[in-house]
Amino acid sequence: MNPLFAMFVTQRLVHLSGVDLAIIAFYFVLVLVIGFYLKRFANTGEDFFLAGREMTAWVAGLAFVSANLGSLELLGWAGSAYQYGIMAAHWYWIGAIPAMVFLGLVMMPFYYISKTHSVPGYLKLRYGSEASGLSAVTFAVMTILMSGVNMYAMAVVMKVVLGWDINFSIWVSSLTVGVYVAAGGLFSAIFNEVLQFFLIWFGALLIPILGMIETGGWSGMVARIHQNFPGQDFTHMWAPMGSFANNPMGINWIGIVFGLGAVQSMGYWTTDFLVVQRVLSAKDIRSAKMAPILGSFFKMAVPLIVILPGLLGLAVLPMHLVPNAPHLAPGQHSYNEVLPLMLARYCGPGLLGLGITALVAGFMAGMAGNVSAFATVWTYDIYRPFLNKAAPDKHYVSMGRWCTLIGLIISIGTAYLVMGFASIMDYVQALFGFFIAPLFGTVLLGMLWKRVTRWGGFLGLLAGTVSSITMFLLMQKVDPQRWVPIFARSPLAKGLAQDMYQSLWSCVTCVVVTVLVTLVTKPKPDAELVGLVYSLTPIAKEEHASWLHRPLVWGILALVALVILQIIFW
């Protein structure tokens, strides 16, 4: 082999047929064509950044879930399911559904009525430029880091299944995403996300269907897991959480209910602009409220294609996977590689191409969401208010396109940070603890308490962010044996358990500092808070809507379905 090409190829598990390559190539061409076609509809800032606010509830809801269902989700949570068992499904149920319903019923009216382009945009209206600027900078940093995670996740697929070098994979895939998002903006991203949502489902369903056939159904899979891993409970969600020692995560129910359910998930689903931006594209207030609630029903089903493959890996893979490391021994595979290993196990010619295309679609969805969100926050919340206030609208659209590509290139470097963590999701949830958990406290207090002041919001957000980063460094880098039992309440706490408690304490810190500073500073007059605070805002109603079309009814149904799932998998 030519040495120039040898650097791009490593050992691979399977060989692609001509049909597989044709399916993958067709998908890449299709998303680029869609991006350039939609460029004609993205001429103004409203079009490029918010898709013209013309999306129906169903389209916005699908894009809302699809923006979160990227290759990061597919690889990361499959790996976490192998590492922690079915407890990983908490991040899809208790860690998503209540927050999505809360976003639709309580928080979307504020975002939509204020016509903000982003969460930092709301903070500027509510608190001022200090809190807005801080949140915009931290969110921009987070999207860059998250883009790097998505790149790394896709590179893992290419490495295991195709035998491509990880560096080559990162550059090829990331540049494709950059081209079509820079061309069509959020319009392009949303249309591709809806397309990718269905591709992901059709492709990723192959593994659970074939895996359940091999193991003889759920009971057969559970029996195999108990045989392969005696003494560990990988198949119950709540029963093992009475004690830190009874579950593979090293956490108890307090960390899940309060750290995940009340802080981490609420913060992510209600203040992470990557997902909120999709709902802001809805055509009216009822559609904006319905979109995340409809999305919650799709979200409840996602563990079927994400968590179940990880559990099947515990049952059928001949080798035991290990924590991630920069250099694995020959023949070793990390938790992150369980999904491509399962794909290689079950998929032959044609099916393998479809499965790879599903993962590529997931990668595209995650990357597109991050880079388009970064472009919007940089342009509207950093560049325009602080650097260039008086430029014409076309200038901001051009800036959005250029910083999309620049941010993409920067994020390539961050892909390599993931290698220092046991699994992808340990890394991602730590990032959410830095930037999302304290932000939730700031936004929620601002919406529900009109007394909160400008400096209370800013200093509370700053204190929460700094405390979160400090706790992470103490638990991960300085002295884990000393600090993990203090912050995570047990020396047995693994990565995700540490992240949950880190989020909980950082949000508490944010709230306490915000309240204390508010009590000694002067609030804004009520007239300046209309449309920004619950008690001072006339909430739009769904006029002439039957009960079947009311967001509240569907929100209650979603919560009932959630309770039923918890009982089934208790």
Contacts of 244 (CB under 8 A, 6+ apart): 250, 251, 252, 489, 490, 492, 493
Q: What is the pLDDT of residues 153-207, one digit of tens each?
A: 777 777 776 677 767 777 776 666 666 555 544 455 555 556 666 666 776 788 8
Q: Which residue has the higher pLDDT, 184 or 410?
A: 410
Torsion over CA: 501, 505, 506, 511 (sign): positive
Question: How distant, in Å, are the alpha carbons of 148, 180, 299 from that of 405?
Answer: 13, 10, 30
Q: Is residue 326 part of a domain?
A: yes
pLDDT at 518: 96
Q: Let me know how long the chain is.
A: 570
Residue 99 identity (one-letter amino acid): A
Work out how many domains the chain is built from and give that number. 1
* CB atoms inside a 10 Å sphere around CB 88: 28
pLDDT at 562: 94
Band (459; pLDDT cuts 50, 70, 90): very high
Q: Is residue 192 part of a domain?
A: yes
Band (32; pLDDT cuts 50, 70, 90): low
Whether pLDDT at 47 is above 50: no
Range of the domain at 197: 12-237+267-426+542-554
Query: How far is it, in rounded angstroms, from Cα 551 to Cα 7?
Result: 54
Q: What is the pLDDT of residues 528-547, one digit of tens each?
A: 888 788 888 776 666 666 67
Band (29; pLDDT cuts 50, 70, 90): confident
Out of 175-184, 281-290, 429-438, the most confident range is 429-438
Instruction: Write down the pTM of the prediction.
Output: 0.81
CATH code of the domain in which 130 resides: 1.20.1730.10
Q: Is residue 452 part of a domain?
A: no
CB-CB contact of 311 with 234 (8 Å): yes
Helix residue spans in 378-453 (DSSP H): 384-386, 393-414, 424-435, 437-448
Determine the 3-state secondary structure of 92 from DSSP.
Answer: coil
* CB atoms inside a 10 Å sphere around CB 15: 11
DSSP 439-469: HHHHHHHHHH-TT--HHHHHHHHHHHHHHHH
Helix residue spans in 520-550 (DSSP H): none
Q: Is residue 380 part of a domain?
A: yes
Band (516; pLDDT cuts 50, 70, 90): very high
Listed residue (143, 137, 304) closest to 208, CA to CA: 304
Over the range 477-498, which residues count as b (16 or more CB within 10 Å of their CB) and which as e? eeeeeebbeebbbbebbbbbbb
Q: Is residue 227 part of a domain?
A: yes
Determine the 3-state secondary structure of 421 from DSSP.
Answer: coil
Q: Is 93 exposed, middle or buried (0-12, 13-18, 19+ CB in 10 A)?
A: buried
pLDDT at 50: 42
Q: Is residue 202 part of a domain?
A: yes
3-state secondary structure 188-219: HHHHHHHHHHHHHHHHHCHHHHHHHHHHCHHH
Read off φ and ψ for residue 345, nearest 5 degrees.
Answer: -70, -40
pLDDT at 159: 72
Residue 456 identity (one-letter amino acid): G
150: left (phi over 0), alpha (psi -120 to 50) or beta: alpha
Q: What is the pLDDT of residues 200-230, one digit of tens each?
A: 677 678 889 989 999 999 999 999 999 988 8
Q: Is residue 435 part of a domain?
A: no
Show the tokens assigned to 245.
């020692």
Determine the 3-state secondary structure of 524 from DSSP.
Answer: coil
Show the tokens assigned to 216.
């003889």
Q: What is the pLDDT of residues 286-318, one digit of tens each?
A: 777 888 888 888 889 889 888 999 999 999 987
Over the range 208-220, which residues count as b (16 or more CB within 10 Å of their CB) and which as e? bebbbeebeeeee
Q: Is residue 547 part of a domain?
A: yes
